[in-house]
Structure 1
Amino acid sequence: MTVTERKERQRVLREQLFLDKAAELIAKEGILQLQMAPLAKACDYATGTLYQHFSSKEDLLVALAGRNSCHQLRFFQGIVALEITSREKMLALSVAAKMNQQHYPSHARLEQYAFTEAVWQNASAARRQAILANCKPLADLVSGIVQQAINDNELPKQNCDAFSLSVAPWALCIGSQALEQTEGFLEAFGGNKDPLLRYRHLHMLLNGMQWQPLMDLNNEALIASQIKQLESLLEPWFQHCHAE
Protein backbone atom coordinates (compact mmCIF):
# COMPACT_ATOMS: atom_id res chain seq x y z
CA MET A 1 0.00 0.00 0.00
CA THR A 2 1.42 3.39 -0.99
CA VAL A 3 1.54 6.40 1.32
CA THR A 4 -1.23 8.04 -0.69
CA GLU A 5 -3.41 4.94 -0.45
CA ARG A 6 -2.80 4.69 3.29
CA LYS A 7 -3.74 8.33 3.83
CA GLU A 8 -6.91 7.89 1.80
CA ARG A 9 -7.85 4.82 3.81
CA GLN A 10 -7.29 6.73 7.04
CA ARG A 11 -9.41 9.60 5.73
CA VAL A 12 -12.28 7.24 4.84
CA LEU A 13 -12.12 5.53 8.23
CA ARG A 14 -12.04 8.88 10.03
CA GLU A 15 -15.07 10.10 8.10
CA GLN A 16 -16.88 6.85 8.91
CA LEU A 17 -16.11 7.44 12.60
CA PHE A 18 -17.54 10.95 12.46
CA LEU A 19 -20.73 9.71 10.79
CA ASP A 20 -21.11 6.78 13.19
CA LYS A 21 -20.72 9.03 16.23
CA ALA A 22 -23.07 11.64 14.75
CA ALA A 23 -25.74 8.96 14.22
CA GLU A 24 -25.26 7.79 17.80
CA LEU A 25 -25.59 11.30 19.22
CA ILE A 26 -28.65 12.07 17.08
CA ALA A 27 -30.35 8.87 18.29
CA LYS A 28 -29.67 9.86 21.92
CA GLU A 29 -30.16 13.62 21.88
CA GLY A 30 -31.94 14.56 18.65
CA ILE A 31 -30.86 16.28 15.44
CA LEU A 32 -31.01 19.85 16.71
CA GLN A 33 -28.73 19.06 19.65
CA LEU A 34 -25.90 17.90 17.40
CA GLN A 35 -22.99 20.36 17.41
CA MET A 36 -19.72 20.09 15.52
CA ALA A 37 -17.26 20.82 18.37
CA PRO A 38 -18.73 18.25 20.81
CA LEU A 39 -18.91 15.72 17.96
CA ALA A 40 -15.21 16.19 17.14
CA LYS A 41 -14.31 15.91 20.83
CA ALA A 42 -16.35 12.70 21.18
CA CYS A 43 -14.24 11.25 18.35
CA ASP A 44 -10.95 12.47 19.90
CA TYR A 45 -10.24 14.85 17.03
CA ALA A 46 -9.89 18.61 16.78
CA THR A 47 -12.88 20.52 15.46
CA GLY A 48 -10.77 21.68 12.54
CA THR A 49 -10.21 18.08 11.49
CA LEU A 50 -13.96 17.51 11.40
CA TYR A 51 -14.39 20.57 9.18
CA GLN A 52 -11.81 19.13 6.78
CA HIS A 53 -14.40 16.42 6.07
CA PHE A 54 -17.64 18.39 6.32
CA SER A 55 -17.97 22.09 5.52
CA SER A 56 -20.86 22.54 7.98
CA LYS A 57 -23.28 20.69 10.22
CA GLU A 58 -25.73 20.66 7.33
CA ASP A 59 -23.09 19.10 5.11
CA LEU A 60 -22.62 16.32 7.67
CA LEU A 61 -26.37 15.72 7.99
CA VAL A 62 -26.78 15.36 4.23
CA ALA A 63 -23.83 12.95 4.14
CA LEU A 64 -25.39 10.88 6.92
CA ALA A 65 -28.77 10.81 5.17
CA GLY A 66 -27.02 9.65 1.99
CA ARG A 67 -25.34 6.81 3.82
CA ASN A 68 -28.67 5.68 5.28
CA SER A 69 -30.16 5.57 1.78
CA CYS A 70 -27.65 2.86 0.83
CA HIS A 71 -29.20 0.51 3.41
CA GLN A 72 -32.66 1.24 2.00
CA LEU A 73 -31.50 0.50 -1.52
CA ARG A 74 -30.47 -3.07 -0.65
CA PHE A 75 -33.77 -3.59 1.14
CA PHE A 76 -35.85 -2.21 -1.73
CA GLN A 77 -33.91 -4.23 -4.30
CA GLY A 78 -35.13 -7.35 -2.50
CA ILE A 79 -38.72 -6.19 -2.93
CA VAL A 80 -38.35 -5.95 -6.71
CA ALA A 81 -37.22 -9.57 -6.82
CA LEU A 82 -40.29 -10.85 -4.93
CA GLU A 83 -42.79 -13.00 -6.83
CA ILE A 84 -45.72 -10.67 -6.21
CA THR A 85 -47.73 -8.35 -8.45
CA SER A 86 -46.44 -4.90 -9.38
CA ARG A 87 -49.18 -3.32 -7.27
CA GLU A 88 -48.16 -5.42 -4.28
CA LYS A 89 -44.55 -4.35 -4.84
CA MET A 90 -45.59 -0.71 -4.69
CA LEU A 91 -47.46 -1.39 -1.46
CA ALA A 92 -44.45 -3.33 -0.15
CA LEU A 93 -42.26 -0.24 -0.66
CA SER A 94 -44.59 1.70 1.62
CA VAL A 95 -44.50 -1.13 4.18
CA ALA A 96 -40.69 -1.13 3.96
CA ALA A 97 -40.56 2.63 4.57
CA LYS A 98 -42.77 2.16 7.62
CA MET A 99 -40.50 -0.60 8.92
CA ASN A 100 -37.48 1.69 8.55
CA GLN A 101 -39.37 4.42 10.39
CA GLN A 102 -40.27 2.07 13.27
CA HIS A 103 -36.88 0.38 13.63
CA TYR A 104 -34.74 3.47 13.01
CA PRO A 105 -36.84 6.53 13.94
CA SER A 106 -33.82 8.86 14.06
CA HIS A 107 -32.92 7.86 10.47
CA ALA A 108 -36.44 8.62 9.31
CA ARG A 109 -36.44 12.02 11.02
CA LEU A 110 -33.03 12.81 9.57
CA GLU A 111 -34.23 12.09 6.03
CA GLN A 112 -37.18 14.42 6.55
CA TYR A 113 -34.92 17.14 7.98
CA ALA A 114 -32.04 16.80 5.50
CA PHE A 115 -34.23 17.69 2.52
CA THR A 116 -35.62 20.88 4.03
CA GLU A 117 -34.41 24.05 2.32
CA ALA A 118 -32.53 25.24 5.44
CA VAL A 119 -30.33 22.13 5.44
CA TRP A 120 -30.16 21.32 1.73
CA GLN A 121 -29.11 24.80 0.63
CA ASN A 122 -26.38 24.98 3.29
CA ALA A 123 -24.79 21.64 2.37
CA SER A 124 -21.97 21.68 -0.14
CA ALA A 125 -22.72 21.08 -3.80
CA ALA A 126 -20.57 17.94 -3.65
CA ARG A 127 -22.62 16.48 -0.79
CA ARG A 128 -25.89 17.30 -2.52
CA GLN A 129 -24.66 15.64 -5.70
CA ALA A 130 -23.51 12.58 -3.75
CA ILE A 131 -26.88 12.00 -2.08
CA LEU A 132 -28.69 12.51 -5.38
CA ALA A 133 -26.41 9.88 -6.90
CA ASN A 134 -27.25 7.55 -3.99
CA CYS A 135 -30.99 8.16 -4.40
CA LYS A 136 -31.03 7.75 -8.20
CA PRO A 137 -31.03 3.91 -8.01
CA LEU A 138 -33.99 4.11 -5.60
CA ALA A 139 -35.91 6.29 -8.03
CA ASP A 140 -35.00 3.95 -10.92
CA LEU A 141 -36.17 0.98 -8.87
CA VAL A 142 -39.61 2.51 -8.25
CA SER A 143 -39.89 3.59 -11.89
CA GLY A 144 -39.04 0.01 -12.87
CA ILE A 145 -42.01 -1.31 -10.89
CA VAL A 146 -44.26 1.20 -12.62
CA GLN A 147 -42.86 0.25 -16.02
CA GLN A 148 -43.47 -3.41 -15.22
CA ALA A 149 -47.12 -2.60 -14.49
CA ILE A 150 -47.43 -0.70 -17.78
CA ASN A 151 -45.80 -3.53 -19.73
CA ASP A 152 -48.12 -6.10 -18.11
CA ASN A 153 -51.20 -3.97 -18.93
CA GLU A 154 -51.91 -3.51 -15.21
CA LEU A 155 -51.56 0.28 -15.36
CA PRO A 156 -52.67 2.75 -18.05
CA LYS A 157 -49.82 4.99 -19.18
CA GLN A 158 -51.97 8.17 -19.17
CA ASN A 159 -49.51 9.90 -21.52
CA CYS A 160 -46.86 9.85 -18.77
CA ASP A 161 -43.53 8.10 -18.46
CA ALA A 162 -42.89 5.63 -15.65
CA PHE A 163 -41.06 8.11 -13.44
CA SER A 164 -43.85 10.68 -13.67
CA LEU A 165 -46.40 8.04 -12.66
CA SER A 166 -44.23 7.03 -9.71
CA VAL A 167 -44.17 10.53 -8.21
CA ALA A 168 -47.67 10.44 -6.69
CA PRO A 169 -47.20 7.19 -4.67
CA TRP A 170 -43.73 8.37 -3.67
CA ALA A 171 -45.06 11.74 -2.48
CA LEU A 172 -47.89 10.06 -0.58
CA CYS A 173 -45.43 7.82 1.25
CA ILE A 174 -43.13 10.72 2.19
CA GLY A 175 -46.06 12.92 3.21
CA SER A 176 -47.60 10.20 5.36
CA GLN A 177 -44.30 9.65 7.11
CA ALA A 178 -43.86 13.38 7.78
CA LEU A 179 -47.37 13.68 9.28
CA GLU A 180 -46.96 10.57 11.42
CA GLN A 181 -43.59 11.75 12.77
CA THR A 182 -44.98 15.12 13.89
CA GLU A 183 -46.28 14.24 17.33
CA GLY A 184 -49.91 15.15 17.92
CA PHE A 185 -50.39 16.73 14.47
CA LEU A 186 -52.99 14.35 13.03
CA GLU A 187 -54.74 14.03 16.40
CA ALA A 188 -55.11 17.81 16.62
CA PHE A 189 -57.34 17.72 13.55
CA GLY A 190 -59.46 14.77 14.62
CA GLY A 191 -57.23 12.02 13.23
CA ASN A 192 -56.13 8.94 15.12
CA LYS A 193 -53.17 6.58 15.11
CA ASP A 194 -54.68 4.22 12.55
CA PRO A 195 -51.87 1.85 11.46
CA LEU A 196 -53.64 1.23 8.14
CA LEU A 197 -54.22 4.88 7.24
CA ARG A 198 -51.28 5.31 4.86
CA TYR A 199 -52.06 1.97 3.16
CA ARG A 200 -55.73 2.79 2.63
CA HIS A 201 -54.72 6.10 1.10
CA LEU A 202 -52.20 4.36 -1.13
CA HIS A 203 -54.86 1.91 -2.30
CA MET A 204 -57.19 4.85 -3.00
CA LEU A 205 -54.48 6.45 -5.11
CA LEU A 206 -53.63 3.25 -6.98
CA ASN A 207 -57.33 2.58 -7.62
CA GLY A 208 -57.63 6.11 -9.04
CA MET A 209 -54.66 5.39 -11.30
CA GLN A 210 -56.52 2.23 -12.43
CA TRP A 211 -53.64 0.05 -11.22
CA GLN A 212 -54.88 -3.54 -11.40
CA PRO A 213 -56.06 -5.49 -9.52
CA LEU A 214 -58.26 -2.87 -7.85
CA MET A 215 -58.71 -3.11 -4.09
CA ASP A 216 -62.07 -3.09 -2.28
CA LEU A 217 -61.48 -0.13 0.03
CA ASN A 218 -64.38 -1.18 2.26
CA ASN A 219 -62.73 -4.51 3.05
CA GLU A 220 -60.53 -3.41 5.96
CA ALA A 221 -59.86 -6.99 7.01
CA LEU A 222 -58.41 -7.76 3.58
CA ILE A 223 -56.16 -4.69 3.66
CA ALA A 224 -54.95 -5.57 7.18
CA SER A 225 -54.24 -9.15 6.12
CA GLN A 226 -52.33 -7.98 3.06
CA ILE A 227 -50.14 -5.67 5.15
CA LYS A 228 -49.47 -8.39 7.72
CA GLN A 229 -48.40 -10.81 4.99
CA LEU A 230 -46.05 -8.24 3.46
CA GLU A 231 -44.53 -7.43 6.87
CA SER A 232 -43.87 -11.14 7.48
CA LEU A 233 -42.36 -11.47 4.03
CA LEU A 234 -40.11 -8.42 4.40
CA GLU A 235 -38.93 -8.76 8.02
CA PRO A 236 -36.19 -11.40 7.40
CA TRP A 237 -34.81 -9.45 4.45
CA PHE A 238 -34.96 -6.22 6.46
CA GLN A 239 -32.91 -7.79 9.25
CA HIS A 240 -30.41 -9.20 6.74
CA CYS A 241 -29.87 -5.85 5.00
CA HIS A 242 -29.35 -3.91 8.23
CA ALA A 243 -27.03 -6.55 9.68
CA GLU A 244 -24.50 -5.98 6.89
Structure 2
Amino acid sequence: MSTATRKQQEIRRREQMLLGLARTMLVEDGFANLGLDRLAEAAEYSKGTIYQHFSSKEDLVAALAIQSCETRLDLFARASRLPGISRERILALVAADEIFAQRYPHYFQSEMIIRMANLDARASSERRERLEQLEQQILKIAFSLVRDGVEQGDLTLTPPWTPEKVTFALFCQDIGAHMAVMNYASVVGKMGITSSSPHLLDNLSLLLDGLQWKPLSTSFDYSVTVPRVADQILSDEGSAND
Protein backbone atom coordinates (compact mmCIF):
# COMPACT_ATOMS: atom_id res chain seq x y z
CA MET A 1 0.00 0.00 0.00
CA SER A 2 1.40 3.40 -0.99
CA THR A 3 2.00 6.20 1.49
CA ALA A 4 -0.64 8.31 -0.31
CA THR A 5 -3.24 5.54 0.01
CA ARG A 6 -2.53 5.08 3.71
CA LYS A 7 -2.82 8.82 4.20
CA GLN A 8 -6.18 8.89 2.40
CA GLN A 9 -7.49 6.04 4.53
CA GLU A 10 -6.34 7.82 7.67
CA ILE A 11 -8.16 10.99 6.58
CA ARG A 12 -11.35 9.02 5.86
CA ARG A 13 -11.21 7.25 9.22
CA ARG A 14 -10.65 10.54 11.01
CA GLU A 15 -13.56 12.16 9.19
CA GLN A 16 -15.88 9.28 10.12
CA MET A 17 -14.80 9.63 13.74
CA LEU A 18 -15.43 13.38 13.67
CA LEU A 19 -18.87 12.88 12.12
CA GLY A 20 -19.80 10.34 14.79
CA LEU A 21 -18.72 12.73 17.53
CA ALA A 22 -20.49 15.69 15.90
CA ARG A 23 -23.70 13.68 15.51
CA THR A 24 -23.71 12.82 19.22
CA MET A 25 -23.10 16.48 20.09
CA LEU A 26 -25.94 17.55 17.78
CA VAL A 27 -28.44 15.13 19.32
CA GLU A 28 -27.42 15.82 22.92
CA ASP A 29 -26.76 19.58 22.78
CA GLY A 30 -28.79 20.81 19.80
CA PHE A 31 -27.93 22.59 16.58
CA ALA A 32 -27.24 25.96 18.21
CA ASN A 33 -24.50 24.47 20.39
CA LEU A 34 -22.74 22.60 17.59
CA GLY A 35 -19.61 24.29 16.27
CA LEU A 36 -16.22 23.51 14.81
CA ASP A 37 -14.40 24.94 17.84
CA ARG A 38 -16.34 22.68 20.20
CA LEU A 39 -15.79 19.71 17.89
CA ALA A 40 -12.03 20.37 17.85
CA GLU A 41 -11.98 20.53 21.64
CA ALA A 42 -14.03 17.34 22.05
CA ALA A 43 -11.96 15.44 19.47
CA GLU A 44 -8.67 16.82 20.83
CA TYR A 45 -7.58 18.00 17.40
CA SER A 46 -6.40 21.43 16.36
CA LYS A 47 -8.87 23.77 14.67
CA GLY A 48 -6.72 23.59 11.56
CA THR A 49 -7.21 19.83 11.36
CA ILE A 50 -10.98 20.20 11.70
CA TYR A 51 -11.03 22.81 8.93
CA GLN A 52 -9.25 20.35 6.65
CA HIS A 53 -12.49 18.34 6.74
CA PHE A 54 -15.23 20.97 7.11
CA SER A 55 -15.17 24.56 5.90
CA SER A 56 -17.93 25.73 8.26
CA LYS A 57 -20.58 24.57 10.72
CA GLU A 58 -23.02 24.34 7.81
CA ASP A 59 -20.54 22.20 5.88
CA LEU A 60 -20.30 19.86 8.87
CA VAL A 61 -24.09 19.65 9.09
CA ALA A 62 -24.29 18.94 5.36
CA ALA A 63 -21.80 16.08 5.83
CA LEU A 64 -23.98 14.65 8.60
CA ALA A 65 -27.05 14.92 6.37
CA ILE A 66 -25.22 13.15 3.54
CA GLN A 67 -24.27 10.29 5.84
CA SER A 68 -27.89 9.89 6.96
CA CYS A 69 -29.27 10.11 3.41
CA GLU A 70 -26.81 7.51 2.12
CA THR A 71 -27.96 5.09 4.81
CA ARG A 72 -31.64 5.83 4.20
CA LEU A 73 -31.22 5.49 0.42
CA ASP A 74 -29.60 2.08 0.85
CA LEU A 75 -32.52 0.85 2.98
CA PHE A 76 -35.10 2.31 0.59
CA ALA A 77 -33.44 0.68 -2.42
CA ARG A 78 -33.53 -2.72 -0.70
CA ALA A 79 -37.14 -2.30 0.44
CA SER A 80 -38.26 -1.24 -3.05
CA ARG A 81 -37.16 -4.64 -4.39
CA LEU A 82 -39.74 -6.42 -2.22
CA PRO A 83 -41.68 -8.90 -4.37
CA GLY A 84 -45.36 -8.10 -4.16
CA ILE A 85 -48.19 -5.88 -5.31
CA SER A 86 -47.60 -2.18 -5.88
CA ARG A 87 -49.21 -1.00 -2.65
CA GLU A 88 -47.09 -3.40 -0.60
CA ARG A 89 -43.96 -1.87 -2.08
CA ILE A 90 -45.09 1.62 -1.05
CA LEU A 91 -45.71 0.28 2.45
CA ALA A 92 -42.21 -1.21 2.31
CA LEU A 93 -40.69 2.28 2.09
CA VAL A 94 -42.48 3.39 5.26
CA ALA A 95 -41.42 0.19 7.01
CA ALA A 96 -37.83 0.81 5.86
CA ASP A 97 -38.03 4.30 7.33
CA GLU A 98 -38.99 2.76 10.67
CA ILE A 99 -36.10 0.30 10.43
CA PHE A 100 -33.83 3.29 9.78
CA ALA A 101 -35.13 5.05 12.91
CA GLN A 102 -34.70 1.94 15.07
CA ARG A 103 -31.30 0.85 13.77
CA TYR A 104 -29.72 4.28 13.56
CA PRO A 105 -31.45 6.41 16.22
CA HIS A 106 -28.73 9.09 16.24
CA TYR A 107 -28.83 9.28 12.44
CA PHE A 108 -32.60 9.61 12.55
CA GLN A 109 -32.72 12.17 15.37
CA SER A 110 -29.96 14.29 13.88
CA GLU A 111 -31.62 14.22 10.47
CA MET A 112 -34.83 15.63 11.95
CA ILE A 113 -32.79 18.43 13.57
CA ILE A 114 -30.82 19.04 10.37
CA ARG A 115 -34.05 19.44 8.38
CA MET A 116 -34.76 22.56 10.42
CA ALA A 117 -31.31 24.03 9.73
CA ASN A 118 -30.58 26.37 6.85
CA LEU A 119 -27.81 24.87 4.74
CA ASP A 120 -26.95 28.06 2.92
CA ALA A 121 -23.96 28.86 0.74
CA ARG A 122 -21.57 28.39 3.68
CA ALA A 123 -21.72 24.65 3.07
CA SER A 124 -19.37 23.57 0.29
CA SER A 125 -20.89 23.34 -3.17
CA GLU A 126 -19.73 19.71 -3.42
CA ARG A 127 -21.62 18.70 -0.29
CA ARG A 128 -24.72 20.69 -1.19
CA GLU A 129 -24.78 19.06 -4.63
CA ARG A 130 -24.23 15.58 -3.16
CA LEU A 131 -27.03 16.10 -0.63
CA GLU A 132 -29.44 17.27 -3.31
CA GLN A 133 -28.48 14.27 -5.47
CA LEU A 134 -29.20 11.82 -2.65
CA GLU A 135 -32.53 13.45 -1.79
CA GLN A 136 -33.58 13.28 -5.44
CA GLN A 137 -32.65 9.58 -5.58
CA ILE A 138 -34.76 8.87 -2.50
CA LEU A 139 -37.76 10.68 -3.98
CA LYS A 140 -37.19 8.94 -7.32
CA ILE A 141 -37.65 5.54 -5.66
CA ALA A 142 -40.97 6.63 -4.15
CA PHE A 143 -42.11 8.22 -7.42
CA SER A 144 -41.27 5.10 -9.43
CA LEU A 145 -43.37 2.95 -7.08
CA VAL A 146 -46.33 5.32 -7.39
CA ARG A 147 -45.99 5.22 -11.17
CA ASP A 148 -45.87 1.40 -11.03
CA GLY A 149 -49.17 1.43 -9.15
CA VAL A 150 -50.75 3.52 -11.91
CA GLU A 151 -49.30 1.42 -14.73
CA GLN A 152 -50.42 -1.83 -13.10
CA GLY A 153 -53.97 -0.52 -12.71
CA ASP A 154 -53.95 -0.60 -8.89
CA LEU A 155 -54.15 3.19 -8.66
CA THR A 156 -56.38 5.31 -10.88
CA LEU A 157 -55.64 9.02 -10.63
CA THR A 158 -58.10 11.72 -11.56
CA PRO A 159 -57.33 15.46 -11.68
CA PRO A 160 -55.85 17.14 -9.76
CA TRP A 161 -53.94 14.04 -8.63
CA THR A 162 -50.72 13.12 -10.43
CA PRO A 163 -47.91 10.68 -9.49
CA GLU A 164 -45.86 13.68 -8.37
CA LYS A 165 -48.61 14.91 -6.04
CA VAL A 166 -49.11 11.44 -4.57
CA THR A 167 -45.37 11.17 -3.93
CA PHE A 168 -45.45 14.57 -2.23
CA ALA A 169 -48.39 13.47 -0.06
CA LEU A 170 -46.51 10.33 0.99
CA PHE A 171 -43.45 12.42 1.82
CA CYS A 172 -45.49 14.87 3.89
CA GLN A 173 -47.34 12.24 5.91
CA ASP A 174 -44.08 10.48 6.81
CA ILE A 175 -41.95 13.52 7.68
CA GLY A 176 -44.91 15.33 9.21
CA ALA A 177 -45.62 12.53 11.67
CA HIS A 178 -42.02 12.44 12.86
CA MET A 179 -41.75 16.21 13.17
CA ALA A 180 -45.06 16.47 15.04
CA VAL A 181 -43.90 14.03 17.71
CA MET A 182 -40.50 15.73 18.03
CA ASN A 183 -41.64 19.36 18.06
CA TYR A 184 -45.19 19.20 19.43
CA ALA A 185 -44.74 16.49 22.04
CA SER A 186 -46.92 18.22 24.64
CA VAL A 187 -49.76 18.67 22.15
CA VAL A 188 -49.81 15.20 20.60
CA GLY A 189 -49.04 13.68 24.00
CA LYS A 190 -52.48 14.79 25.16
CA MET A 191 -53.86 12.61 22.37
CA GLY A 192 -51.97 9.65 23.82
CA ILE A 193 -49.34 9.77 21.06
CA THR A 194 -45.74 9.57 22.24
CA SER A 195 -44.15 7.98 19.19
CA SER A 196 -44.80 8.18 15.46
CA SER A 197 -43.96 4.51 14.91
CA PRO A 198 -47.33 2.88 15.70
CA HIS A 199 -49.22 5.46 13.63
CA LEU A 200 -47.24 5.71 10.39
CA LEU A 201 -48.78 2.61 8.82
CA ASP A 202 -52.28 3.62 9.97
CA ASN A 203 -51.78 7.07 8.42
CA LEU A 204 -50.53 5.45 5.23
CA SER A 205 -53.61 3.21 5.06
CA LEU A 206 -55.89 6.23 5.43
CA LEU A 207 -54.09 8.02 2.61
CA LEU A 208 -53.93 5.06 0.22
CA ASP A 209 -57.50 3.94 0.93
CA GLY A 210 -58.63 7.51 0.30
CA LEU A 211 -56.89 7.38 -3.08
CA GLN A 212 -58.58 4.01 -3.73
CA TRP A 213 -55.19 2.33 -4.19
CA LYS A 214 -56.13 -1.33 -4.51
CA PRO A 215 -56.36 -3.66 -2.83
CA LEU A 216 -57.86 -1.61 0.00
CA SER A 217 -56.88 -2.33 3.59
CA THR A 218 -60.35 -3.80 4.16
CA SER A 219 -59.64 -6.60 1.69
CA PHE A 220 -55.91 -7.27 2.17
CA ASP A 221 -53.90 -7.92 5.33
CA TYR A 222 -50.96 -5.54 4.99
CA SER A 223 -49.72 -6.32 8.50
CA VAL A 224 -47.92 -9.36 7.07
CA THR A 225 -45.95 -7.09 4.73
CA VAL A 226 -43.91 -5.39 7.46
CA PRO A 227 -41.96 -8.49 8.59
CA ARG A 228 -41.38 -9.33 4.92
CA VAL A 229 -39.67 -5.95 4.49
CA ALA A 230 -37.31 -6.69 7.38
CA ASP A 231 -36.54 -10.09 5.85
CA GLN A 232 -35.92 -8.47 2.46
CA ILE A 233 -33.46 -5.96 3.90
CA LEU A 234 -31.63 -8.61 5.92
CA SER A 235 -31.52 -10.90 2.89
CA ASP A 236 -29.98 -8.14 0.76
CA GLU A 237 -27.44 -7.42 3.49
CA GLY A 238 -26.46 -11.08 3.56
CA SER A 239 -26.03 -11.14 -0.23
CA ALA A 240 -23.91 -7.99 -0.12
CA ASN A 241 -21.63 -9.52 2.51
CA ASP A 242 -21.12 -12.83 0.67
Do the two structures share a fold, i.e. TM-score over 0.5?
A: yes
Q: In percent, how many aligned pairs have the same letter?
A: 26
Contact 2:55 2:124 in 1 (8 A): no
1:177 lines up with 2:178 in the alignment: yes
Q: In structure 2, what is the equivalent of residue 205 of structure 1?
A: 207
Deviations 1:42-79 (A, max 9, x none): 43421133123323222211211111211111211111
Q: In structure 1, what is the equivalent of residue 231 of structure 2?
A: 233
- Structure 1: segments with no counterpart, 5+ residues: none
Deviation at 1:152, TM superposition (A): 0.3
Deviation at 1:112, TM superposition (A): 1.7
Paired residue total: 236
Q: In structure 1, what is the equivalent of residue 22 of structure 2?
A: 22
SS in 2 for 1:153: coil
Matches of 1:227 and 1:31, distance apart in 2: 36
Matches of 1:6 and 1:233, distance apart in 2: 37
Matches of 2:46 and 2:92, distance apart in 1: 44
- Most deviating of 96-105 and 85-94: 96-105
- Relative contact order: is structure 1 or structure 2 higher (C-alpha 8 Å, sep ≥ 6)? 2
Contact 1:68 1:107 in 2 (8 A): yes
Letter in 2 for 1:119: N
Contact 1:26 1:106 in 2 (8 A): no
SS in 2 for 1:154: coil
Matches of 1:21 and 1:55, distance apart in 2: 17
Deviations 1:105-143 (A, max 9, x none): 222222122222x43236425132221112222111111
Q: In structure 2, what is the equivalent of residue 164 of structure 1?
A: 165
Deviation at 1:7, TM superposition (A): 6.1
1:38 lines up with 2:29 in the alignment: no
Q: In structure 1, what is the equivalent of residue 59 of structure 2?
A: 59
Q: In structure 2, what is the equivalent of residue 192 of structure 1?
A: 193
Instruction: Summarize the Cα distance change of 1:240–1:175 in structure 2 as closer, same or farther, 3 Å threshold.
Output: farther
Letter in 2 for 1:39: L
- Most deviating of 53-62 and 225-234: 225-234
Deviation at 1:206, TM superposition (A): 0.8
Matches of 1:179 and 1:103, distance apart in 2: 21
Deviation at 1:40, TM superposition (A): 1.7
- Most deviating of 13-22 and 172-181: 13-22
Matches of 2:182 and 2:225, distance apart in 1: 20
Q: In structure 2, what is the equivalent of residue 141 of structure 1?
A: 141
Matches of 2:225 and 2:81, distance apart in 1: 18
Contact 1:30 1:106 in 2 (8 A): no
Contact 1:75 1:238 in 2 (8 A): no
Letter in 1 for 2:188: L
SS in 2 for 1:68: helix
- Most deviating of 29-38 and 204-213: 29-38
Letter in 2 for 1:66: I
Deviation at 1:234, TM superposition (A): 5.2
Matches of 2:226 and 2:150, distance apart in 1: 27
